A and B are shown apart, each in its own frame.
Chain A
Amino acid sequence: MPTPPSADGFARLLSRHEARAARRLRWERVFERWGVTLWGLAIALLALWLLALLVPTVLPMMLGTALTLVVLAAAVLAIEYLRPVERKLLRARMDEQAVLPDVVKTAGDWSAETGPEAASPWKQNQLKQAHAQIEAVNWATSWPLRAPRRWWMPVVAGLMMVLVLAGMRETRTVAPVAAEARGLNDAQRELVRDIEETLDDWEVAAEEFKNPELEKLVNEMEPLREKLAEGDLGERELYLELNSVQQRLEQMQASLQNQSLEALAEEMAGAMDQLDQAGALAAALRRKDFQAAQEQAEKLADKLERREADPPEGQRGQQAAQQLGQVSQKLRQRGQNDGARAMNQLAQGARNQSHQQMSKGMRQMSRQFQQQNRSQNQQQNLQHQIQQMQAAKNQLGQCRSPGGGGQKQGQGQQAGQGQGQGQQPGQGQQPGQGQQAGQGQQPGQGQGQGEGQGQGMALGMPKLTEIIRQQRGGGAGSDIAANKFSEPTSLDVTRTQEAVSGQMNENGMSEVTTEKTLQPQFERASDAVGSAEFEVYEQMSRQAVEDENLPLSHRQSIRKYFEAIRPTGDAVRPPPERP
């Protein structure tokens, strides 16, 4: 037996070997946890991958979540390594690994002893023996550590799957995490998606219909869209942004109204009354139906060219020239120089008894009426957009209240109930016609017509693209009239619509204000369609009235009915003579 070192020497030897063994024990614990942790990580990554495939909104946060999972797994392993090692357990493991039957354990107990007990020859001999045995231990061979390398495979595979899918991340995806972080609830996040859909619709409309005003507006909306895509908007910021958009739209609408001929339509009609065969044109102007006015102006210009109509003569001509001149002057004062020139041309023609000047002026006016008609459509679009923003603001306020979600749900049900109603294939009606067809609900009850082509509705309103298509005669069969915000159905152009809007105050409450606006005249487009068939029906009804032995009062009622539904712009024709 070799000469034993001192007690201190043995303590140092034991301490040194304990430190080596402790490192191996820590690594062993890490490797024991290795499998569970890495498999757990791999399964979590796979689940994340599948979730991202099923729910695209998860995509933006997938990479971050995957990295978080990897960091968590690493933290678990690090904690396992850093966890304190109990000395009693360590010595037992040293004995086990080095196949030393309780040598380290016993030597550890006895080396700490002092006094006469420590001087026992038995214990001295044991310490000598332990010293020799411990010193001979090679821990690398006695306690081999083998990292289970194959367990890397699922983790690497999972990470690669995540990275590949993360590359497919869409730029304009709402980040629910960010939205949650901004304190938006589910209903508000849904509203954000609706607003995004609406703005996307505006962009599509601007690109599809080459509308410079709309393109300009869409460009101005770009920062808002980016914020929405990043979910970087709180409730208050969102409300302010919507308010800003609405104000911008109202400014555009006011600008259009300033350039409108509507304000002088009555005076223009009065001047036209002085011209020969211009009654229908004057009537159309009084109705502010500039589409009909353009048609009548074209017809009149043709008649003047063919000399089927004549300029007013004598005093009537002077009076007409004077009135046309006055209107021309007013148009010039409003900055509508083209209109002023056209009116002036007409005035000159009336004064000079010139068919050519009159025809030329009438054609210029026709172009003005055409522009005005487009401006009306533009205003209608703007009105629709303003309503969309107003609806979004209202809905945002409702989402804040505890019952907000329920209200929105109710609106969704209204929209759903109307699916399939108002289908008029091939009609190409403007929005609102479907509502007229036997609906007649009161404002606020919700129409729920649904969209005939199954297209979505941003903020519960018809899409702007659909409205513009219909204005241009497209969108056959797409009878869009759904309004889950309970927009009133317009049966009468003169009726008013009450719109409720709110302004958030410091306490988060809304100050509700009510404003009355004119309902957009959606029904006019239907006249073009209705007029095509009107004559047929009118002829048939007259024939029926004449053929049947009906009381006189009934005949008058039928005649009044057809007079009432006569499309605008059609001149009243005398009934055909009885055979």
Chain B
Amino acid sequence: MSTEVAAPDPLVSQQSPEELEAQAQQFRHCFDSLKTEVQKMMVGQDEIIEHTLTAIIAGGHVLLEGVPGLGKTMLVRSLADALHLSFNRIQFTPDLMPADLVGTNVLVEDAQGHSSFEFQPGPIFCNLLLGDEINRATPKTQSALLEAMQEKHVTVAGATRHLERPFFVLATQNPLEMEGTYPLPEAQLDRFFFKLKVPYPTAEQFGAILDRTTQREKPTVSRVFQGEDLVNLGDFALGVPVAPSVQERIVQIVMATHPETDFATDEVKKYVRYGASPRAGQALILAAKIRALREGRYHVATEDAVHFIHAVLRHRVMLTFEAQADGLTEEQVLDNIVAHLQGKWKE
């Protein structure tokens, strides 16, 4: 059953305040519809769903970290179904080669017996790619994926081939069994818009999962809107303005992760080796804009950015060994930064 809704047209929003108001309401409706559809399949994990949808609307990729069986694949599949997007899944292994990912030229004989090379696209050619256990692939394969994520195209045998739009990658990492894995380098982690940690469901949610998945009738996901509409949602959200004073605060948040800056706290200077890149700022503002619209506002507030600070910055801040030895996590450092800045903003 299709419950398709029309996504707002970003060009229309420039016309009048009243039309903009209608567009904003449409945006909220689309987002909520999509979320509702996904929640038909996913029990709990509201924040993961919300963050994933935000990243997709913003055009970013998501790195999901969690133990197996928490519904990561289900989430991606549900999204693909709801958005009517093509979906592929790759299980990364150490012997996975870049060609296995992006595709390769194969020798093909035609009816006349002539042989020619024909490009056989890999699984990356889809709208929504689920890369399971991405850290088990070799850096060579990882970098092939990450190039595609950033550039939205792949180059095979000298020929550049564009990927379909929209193109989203949702990669997963298993925090356990780290032996034989190839942790993603910082530069590659930076390409992910969000890094989300999928928590274990609560007992109540666990019961609901069992109920929902052990019956004859399985829930199905209806198509909400087309993939192009998703791009329109992102474009519409880009129009949300940010006040200079709010932008200044977001800059301060990102700068505070750099131990060499004046914004850094003593804790950051002691425990942080590298801070977040400007991409983090971009991600914070983009995500904040989407949240502001969802909250019915026409401006970005600081709290919107703070809401996504873990998802945006946890994989962009590299702690020192001393921090690891002291049991300090990225989230704790980021919380302390925010607390420090909020105190400073009150002075």
Contacts and interface: CB of A to CB of B under 8 A. Distances in A.
Contacts of A417: none
A92 B345 contact: yes
B303 A105 contact: no
Contacts, number: 69
Contacts of B119: none
Contacts of B303: 101-102
A93 B19 CA distance: 32
Contact of A102 (B13, B239, B301): B301
Contact of B15 (A89, A109, A121, A124): A121
A128 B16 CA distance: 13
A105 B246 contact: yes
B302 to A, nearest CB: 6
B345 A120 contact: no
Interface residues of A, number: 22
A106 B21 contact: no
B243 A93 contact: no
Given A106-B301, A129-B297, A120 B246 contact: no
Given A105-B243, A109-B245, A121 B13 contact: yes
B148 to A, nearest CB: 34
Contacts of B300: 102, 106
B327 interface: no
Interface string A76-114: 000000000000110011001000011101100110000
A526 to B, nearest CB: 85
B286 to A, nearest CB: 16
Interface in B130-160: none
A122 to B, nearest CB: 5
Contact of A125 (B14, B15, B298): B298
Nearest to A109: B243
Nearest to A88: B245
Interface in B318-347: 345-347
A101 B306 CA distance: 12
B17 A101 contact: no
A531 interface: no
A492 B246 CA distance: 102
A89 B346 contact: yes
A109 B297 contact: no
Contacts of A125: 17, 20-21, 298
B190 interface: no
B14 A126 contact: no
Contacts of A89: 346-347
A109 B246 CA distance: 10
A129 B292 CA distance: 13
Contacts of A102: 243, 245-246, 299-303
B244 interface: yes
B219 interface: no
Contacts of A92: 345-346
A122 B245 CA distance: 17
A110 B245 contact: no
A24 interface: no
Interface in A191-211: none
Nearest to B15: A121
A555 interface: no
Interface string A113-154: 000000011111110110000000000000000000000000
A1 interface: yes
A14 to B, nearest CB: 14
Nearest to B303: A101
A102 B16 CA distance: 23
Contacts of A122: 20, 239-241, 298-299
B304 interface: yes
A110 B300 CA distance: 13
Interface in B233-274: 239-241, 243-246
A106 B302 CA distance: 10
A120 B301 contact: no
A1 B302 CA distance: 24
A105 B300 CA distance: 11
Contacts of B297: 101, 103, 126, 129
Contacts of B16: 121
A223 B178 CA distance: 99
A22 to B, nearest CB: 15
Given A93-B346, A129-B297, A106 B243 contact: yes
A102 to B, nearest CB: 4
Nearest to A117: B241
Interface string B7-31: 0000001111101110000000000
B21 A101 contact: no
Contacts of B301: 101-103, 106
Given A92-B346, A106-B246, A1 B21 contact: yes
B238 to A, nearest CB: 11
Chain A CB count within 10 A is highest, among B246, B298, B302, for B298
A96 B301 CA distance: 12
A122 B14 CA distance: 9
A110 B299 CA distance: 10
Contacts of A121: 13-17, 19-20
B18 to A, nearest CB: 8
A103 B15 CA distance: 23
Contacts of B302: 101-102
Interface centre among B21, B299, B300 (most CB of A within 10 A): B299
Nearest to A130: B299
Contact of B299 (A1, A93, A96, A126): A126
A265 B174 CA distance: 131
A513 to B, nearest CB: 72
A102 B307 CA distance: 14
A110 B243 contact: yes
Contacts of B13: 121
25 contacts: A1-B21, A101-B295, A101-B303, A102-B243, A102-B300, A102-B302, A102-B303, A103-B297, A103-B301, A106-B243, A106-B245, A106-B246, A106-B299, A109-B243, A121-B13, A121-B14, A121-B16, A121-B19, A122-B241, A122-B298, A122-B299, A123-B298, A123-B299, A124-B17, A126-B241
Interface of B: 13-17, 19-21, 239-241, 243-246, 295, 297-304, 345-347
Given A105-B246, A121-B17, 16 more contacts: A92-B346, A93-B346, A102-B299, A102-B301, A102-B302, A103-B299, A103-B301, A105-B245, A106-B243, A106-B301, A110-B243, A122-B299, A123-B241, A125-B17, A125-B298, A126-B299
9 tightest Cβ-Cβ pairs between the two chains A and B: A101-B301, A102-B301, A106-B243, A126-B298, A109-B243, A121-B17, A121-B20, A125-B298, A106-B299
